[in-house]
Amino acid sequence: MHNRMILADCRDALPKIPSDSVDLVLTDPPYNTGLKASNSTRLTHFFDDALPADEYRALAREVCRELFRVLREDRAAYVFMNWKSLGVWLDALAGAGFRLKNAIVWDKVVQGLNYQNYAYTHEFLIFAVKGQFHPRNRGLEDDAWHDLWHIRRELRQTTAAVEHHETVKPEAVLRRPIEHASEPGDLVLDPFAGTGTTCVVAKKLGRHFLGIERESRYHAVAVAELTRTRPDAAPARCGRTWRETPCEAIRRPRPRTRRASRRAWKAHR
Ligand SMILES: C[S@@+](CC[C@H](N)C(=O)[O-])C[C@H]1O[C@@H](n2cnc3c(N)ncnc32)[C@H](O)[C@@H]1O
């Protein structure tokens, strides 16, 4: 099961994936925002994202159980989430057997979908592992090794994917977990693939991919994007910070030793 976009409900498709066959899970599930495709006026390309709380919990539990089964030992799973549904996915991941390691905060720099109760500017990326985990990238070049990422959410992306989906993640955000937790030739699974951005970035980075999406309009965009994507095309590296400064300009070099790390910490207090 390599390099495929499956059109299905992931609860039906995941049980068909062999156990211990996936090297990395990276996914962006529905956040249960309460929005529906039919009654959302401003968001033209949204999907139904309004399950009763108990059904949403059941979905998270069922999916996490399967993700734990298909993931190889000593490998990682990353799940994007908002603050409201974070607890649901932390519980589901831990209940399935994952060890919760961190919740990375993605500062989107420009605000998201809510303008009333402090405009949302951040999302979480849960980092959980099965067994022991060792980072794959030894020489990180940017601030990816912090758990606070400033990566600008693109407002006017022009790719076909963005024209068809409201919640497309920037390639720079997807690139980091893929580089941190997998190697070229590994298999990356996204069971809520949408327009396939995770799979596109995985392909650009020389990984195999497996995407699952239940809506045919998004699935079709994903297939077209993946067909267009060349395996060696470098994904976007980084967005811009709130000061419009390229992330590269504000990043600090990673201290190589404990002593250097202590010195750097003192210098930045
Ligand atoms: C937050 S979006 C992911 C968008 C994606 N990151 C992208 O770049 O296009 C979540 C996606 O999960 C899909 N979805 C929701 N429930 C699903 C299910 N049970 N099985 C498969 N896909 C599902 C939705 O149709 C939606 O496209």
* Total number of domains in the chain: 1
Best residue among 7, 153, 192 to mutate for probing ligand 1's pocket (most ligand atoms within 8 Å of CB) is 192
DSSP state of 162: G
Distance from Cα 193 to the centre of ligand 1, integer Å: 5
pLDDT in tens, the chain (269 residues): 789 999 999 999 999 999 999 999 999 999 998 877 666 555 555 678 888 999 999 999 999 999 999 999 999 999 999 999 999 999 999 999 999 999 999 998 876 556 677 877 899 999 999 999 999 876 555 667 789 998 887 654 445 444 455 568 889 899 999 999 999 999 999 999 999 999 999 999 999 999 999 999 999 999 999 999 988 776 765 543 333 333 433 344 455 666 765 665 555 44
Pocket of ligand 1 from Cβ distances under 6 Å: 9-11, 28-30, 47, 161, 165, 167-169, 192, 194-195, 197, 212-215, 218
CATH at 109: 3.40.50.150
Q: How far is CA 187 from CA 30, 71, 80, 244, in A?
A: 22, 10, 19, 35
- pTM exceeds 0.95: no
CA angle at 142 for the pair 94 and 156, rounded to the nearest 5°: 85
How far apart CA 189 and CA 182 sit, in angstroms, is 11
Q: Which of 32, 85, 213, 217 to mutate to test the pocket of ligand 1 (most atoms within 8 A of CB)?
A: 213
Gyration radius (Cα) of the chain, Å: 18
The whole domain housing 69 covers 4-267
